[in-house]
Structure 1
């Protein structure tokens, strides 16, 4: 059986990186890259996947992203998923295995391979739900609207209120940079 792996939140300014691995127990029609589906479609597939897939979801919080870096977080998550699905073939979306041996990669696998599509949906919905839940702790930032991505609204909120606890301090935005003295 094939285990598909994909991530959500790699380029976010706040919140966790979420990586999911999924094996389908039976075919599910219409799966696609989570970015190609509406929020309503992702939520519906997420519920279907609860019963029709075996999966492992790994969260790497903003502190881990800041201290270890994205590549180390991705390697940790992939190794965790690989260990969970020991003995299965593994295919990850993209072109890098982050130093984890025995992982195959494919660009756009999240749109081509149902198991990777499933992982894409599981990671995205899990992360989005987390950001909506945590938004009540940081109401000024409206995380429920942009989920921590670098949208114009989010950048506007950072300019107005500065960074909050869950922002990735290692991520720098040119639009927020102070002018150089040199």
Structure 2
């Protein structure tokens, strides 16, 4: 496949991480791989061990033609809703690339608004190497940030569950209340706010 100029098309893979958590940002990555430097072992980040994700993240950053991260903050998630915030994070990741892609392949069935052609791919993180690479970079970056936030907001165990609604996380919300990085538009967080307000008014 060639562009009108005769040069090979630049195809970017895009994926996001962090739709389901109750806390923290949603993070997206965009990656344009170098066909002359293939990376063995790329896969959906969810099926890889943390150590393997870290190893592949280093390889991706060293071998890709370019890569970039994008994000949407908790305030944007609460204001826009998680779907629109995820699309915004993906848009920001693509716009941050140092090379302009001729085509963007996005995991899932929803595409961000971009100036270049976009194709969605169901389960693309498991089948398209560039999307797999993006899912790995996004996952590694977000996990590292949640570990940092665990130190800033102790007691919630963000380093263990990364903000997802585990039993321990829900219990911490009920015990400690809501932190500044919790998504107030999410049901369990709203209920924790209501319970705390009712308790304080008694």
Superposition TM-score, scaled by structure 1 size: 0.90
1 CA distance for matches of 2:187 and 2:113? 26
CA RMSD of aligned residues (A): 2.0
Asked which structure has the greater CA Rg, the reply is: 2
Q: Indicate the residue corresponding to 2:79 in structure 1.
A: 67
* CA apart distance, 1:141: 0.8
Q: Indicate the residue corresponding to 2:5 in structure 1.
A: none
2 CA distance for matches of 1:69 and 1:112? 28
SS of equivalent to 1:140: coil
Give ranges in structure 2 of 5+ residues lacking alignment: 1-9, 196-202
Give ranges in structure 1 of 5+ residues lacking alignment: none
- Is it true that 1:43 corresponds to 2:54 in the alignment? yes
1 CA distance for matches of 2:112 and 2:134? 17
Identify the structure with bigger relative contact order (alpha carbons < 8 Å, sequence gap 6+): 1
Superposition TM-score, scaled by structure 2 size: 0.82
1 CA distance for matches of 2:166 and 2:102? 38
Query: Size of the alignment, in residue pairs?
Result: 179
SS of equivalent to 1:44: helix
Q: Does the 8 A contact of 1:71 with 1:98 survive in 2?
A: no
Q: Indicate the residue corresponding to 2:107 in structure 1.
A: 93
Q: Deviations over 1:121-145 (max 9, x none)?
A: 0000000000101211111111111
* CA apart distance, 1:74: 2.6
Q: Indicate the residue corresponding to 1:14 in structure 2.
A: 23
